[in-house]
Amino acid sequence: MEENQSFDVLIIGSGAAGLSLALRLPDAVHCAIVAKRELTEGNTLYAQGGISAVLDSCDSVESHVEDTLQAGAGLCREDVVRKVVEHGPGNIHWLTGEGVAFTQTPATGDSNFHLTREGGHSYRRVVHAADATGRAVETSLVEKIHKRRNTRFFEYCVAIDLIRQREGEGKQRFKRCLGAYLLNLKTNKVFSVSAKCVVLATGGASKVYLYTSNPDVATGDGIAIAWRAGCRVANMEFIQFHPTCLYHPQAKSFLLSEALRGEGAWLCLPNGERFMHRYHARAELAPRDVVARAIDSEMKRLGADCVYLDISHQPVEFVLAHFPTIQQRCLELGFDLSREAVPVVPAAHYTCGGIKVNAHGETDISGLYAIGETAYTGLHGANRMASNSLLECLVYSELAAQHIFSSLPNIPAPDTPAVWDESRVTDSDEEVVVAHNWDELRRFMWDYVGIVRSNKRLARAKRRVDMLRHEIEEYYTNFRVSNDLLELRNLVEVADLIIQSAQRRRESRGLHYNIDFPDTDENQLEPTVLIPDNYAPRRAHKSPVLV
C-alpha cells in the first residue's frame, strides 16, 4: 500500500483544462496531476479544428456571442457566453506565450493568425495549428509543465472516488473535499492523495456510446465521481454527435475535422448528390446537430452504411497545405482526400452537460472544482458550437486558478484519510462479466439514446441500465477494483444520468431529438438539473430544477 501524499491542489485530468490550470498557479503552490495513461493522452490531443476567438477586425464579440446563443438553441447562459468570448483573445495570446505555434497568414508574419470558419460561425474566427491543433496545444503545455518543480505527476493512475470530510456524525452532508483515492494501474495498488483543493478536469463521456470519436479514456469519470459525492449535474441529455467520422473498420475514433467543410468540402450521397441544402440554409456549415441528424436521416432513408465528404474540387496543394494530418491518415487507409470523396458517419463526440459549477468552476462541494468538458457552465446550452470547447477549457482554467490561489491561504491542511480497505474483497473470478456489460451498455445507448430518440427507446434503455447498474455494483462490492471495472462503473452512472435527463426533456431542442416530442417547447427554457440523494449545498442556489 502506497502512503498518502498531500498537496495544495490535486488536478485529476491532464488535458488542456487541467494543464492550463496548473501552469497558471504560482510556483509556490504544490500541485499534483493525475493522468489515466501517459500525460498527453486524452481528448485534447486529438482535437483537429482549433479554438474560436475574436481575432479579426471584421469580427466582433457580439457576433461570436450571438452565434453561440443561436447554436445553443435557447439554453445558453448569456452572461457566461459573453464572459468566455471576451476572455478568448487573451487566452490565445497566453497559449502563444506558452509555445503553441498556431498557423500564421503567410503575408503578414508572426503577428496575424490564419483563421478558418466552422459550422455555426458567421466569420472566420478559428485559430489553429494546421489540422492538429489539439496536439500542438497538449504537447506544448506538457513540455512547459515538466519544467515546473512544484508539480508531481501520477501517470497511469485512475481516480476511484473523492475523499470528503463529514460535517457531523450520522449526517449526510459533507463539509469539503479532501482528496481522492487512486488506483495505480502498474502496481494495481490503491493509495490516497489529499489536497486543499481538488479539480476535476477529466473530459467527457462519449465512450458510453458504441461509436465515438473519443479516445478510450473518455469514460465520464469526473461526472460519475462528482455525482456519487453529492454534486448536481445538468443538461446530460445533450450529447453532440460529430457528423463526420471516417467510415473504415481500422479508422478507430478518427474524425474528419469540421474545418474541411469550412474550407468548402461537400457532403454527398453514394451517387454523388449533395443533400444538406434540403435541411438548412447554411448547408454544410449548419450547426452540428442539424448536420448529424441530416446524415442519419439520409442513411436510414437509403439503407446506406455511410455518406461521403468531398473536398477534391479544391486544388491538391490547398488540401495538402491545410489538412496534412488528415490526408496522411486517409492515405494509410487507402483514401486520397485530395482526389476523391471519403466515407463518413456520425459518432458521439462531446458531452455538453456535466457537473454544475459556478462562475469560478466551483461545484456544490467546498474545495471541489470542475473545468473543461466534465463541467456544465452554461456556455453550450443545447448544442456546442464548433471550437468553443477548447476555449471553455482555457477560460475556466484561468478563472478557477485565480479563485483557488486566492482561497488557499484560508484553507487548513487536510487530515490524513483512512487507508483503503480491501479486507473483504477478492480477485475477480469472471472478468467476462465486465466485458459483456461494457459491450451491452454501449450498444443499447447507441440504439436507444443516440441521435434520434423516442419515449419507448428511452424506457427500454432505463430498464437495461437499472439491471446493469445492480450487477456492476454487486461486482464492485465483492471484487478488487481494476481499470475496466472502474470505467464501467462510471459509464453506467453516466448512462443513467443521460437517460434520466432525456426522459425529463419532453421536447426536441438542439442535440436532443425525440420523435414523440418533435417540436420545441418554449416553456422548457431551463437546464435539466439532476440532484443526487446526498446533495446538500454549501450555499443557496438559484438554479431551477426541471421536473
The letter for the amino acid at 331 is L
The predicted structure's pLDDT at residue 4: 85
List, for residues 78-91, the tens digit of each pLDDT value: 999 999 999 999 99
- Please list the residues that pair with 362 across neighbouring strands: 369
Q: How confident is the model over 118-143, as a mean pLDDT?
A: 90
Three-state SS for 321?
helix
Whether the pLDDT of residue 546 is over 60: the answer is no
Kindly compute the dihedral angle of the four CA atoms of residues 184, 190, 196, 201, in this order, to the nearest 10 degrees: 40
Radius of gyration of the chain (CA): 22
Q: Helix or strand or coil: residue 287?
A: coil
pLDDT at 174: 53
Contact 128, 51 (CB under 8 A): yes
Domain edge (last residue) among 322, 349, 376: 349
Confidence of residue 221 (pLDDT cuts 50, 70, 90): very high
- Between strands 174-184 and 189-200, the pairing is antiparallel
- What digits encode the pLDDT tens for the residues 478-524? 888 899 999 999 999 999 999 999 999 999 999 999 999 999 999 99
Annotation marks residue 288 as catalytic: yes
Span 147-167, pLDDT tens digits: 999 999 999 999 999 999 865
CATH of the domain at 292: 3.90.700.10
Q: What is the number of domains present in the chain? A: 2
Residues in a beta bridge with 200: 12, 370
430 confidence band (pLDDT: 50, 70, 90): low
- Please give the mean pLDDT across all residues of the chain: 90
Q: Which is nearest to 321 in space by CA: 131, 64, 91, 39?
A: 131
Per-residue pLDDT, 258: 83
Report angle CA 189, 153, 405 to the nearest 5 degrees. 120
For residues 247 and 343, state if they share a domain.
Answer: yes
Please indicate, yes or no, if residue 344 is contained in any of the structural domains.
yes
| In-domain check, residue 15 | no
Summarised one tens digit per residue, pLDDT across range 351-404 is 999 999 999 999 999 999 999 999 999 999 999 998 999 999 999 999 999 999
The answer to the question of residue 303 being in a domain is yes
Q: Is residue 513 part of a domain?
A: yes
Residue 42 pLDDT: 80
Residues 345 and 436 reside in one and the same domain: no
- The predicted model scores a pTM of 0.89
Strand runs labelled E in 462-547: 529-530
| 510-543 b/e (C-beta count within 10 Å ≥ 16 → b) | bbbbbeebeeeeeebeebbbbebeebeebeeeee
Position 304 in a domain: yes
pLDDT of residue 373: 97
Catalytic residue among 24, 135, 232, 288: 288
Beta bridge partners of 387: none
pLDDT score for 48:
77
Closest among 288, 531, 380 to 78, alpha carbons compared? 380
8-state DSSP, 279: T
Residue 194 pairs with which residues in a beta bridge?
6, 179
Is residue 284 included in any domain, yes or no?
yes
| Measured distance CA(192)–CA(33) in Å, rounded | 13
According to DSSP, the β-strands at 31-35 and 51-52 are: unpaired
Q: Are 240 and 383 in contact (CB under 8 A)?
A: yes
Domain assignment present for residue 365? The answer is: no
User: What is the C-alpha to C-alpha distance for residues 98 and 129, in angstroms, rounded to an integer?
Assistant: 14
pLDDT value, residue 538: 64
Q: Quick one: pLDDT at residue 46? A: 77
pLDDT at 2: 64
Confidence at 230, pLDDT banded by 50, 70, 90? very high
In 371-482, which ranges are continuous DSSP H helix?
389-407, 432-448, 455-478
Query: According to the model, what pLDDT value does residue 547 have?
Result: 24
Identity at 218, one-letter amino acid code: A
Domain end point (choices 288, 319, 349) = 349
Q: What is the CATH number of the domain that holds 477?
A: 1.20.58.100
Give the residue, 38 or 179, on which the prediction is more confident: 179
pLDDT at residue 249 above 90? no
Summarize the confidence of residues 116-126 as an average pLDDT: 88
Range of the domain at 471: 432-519
418 contacts: CB under 8 Å, gap ≥ 6: none
Residue 363 within a domain: no
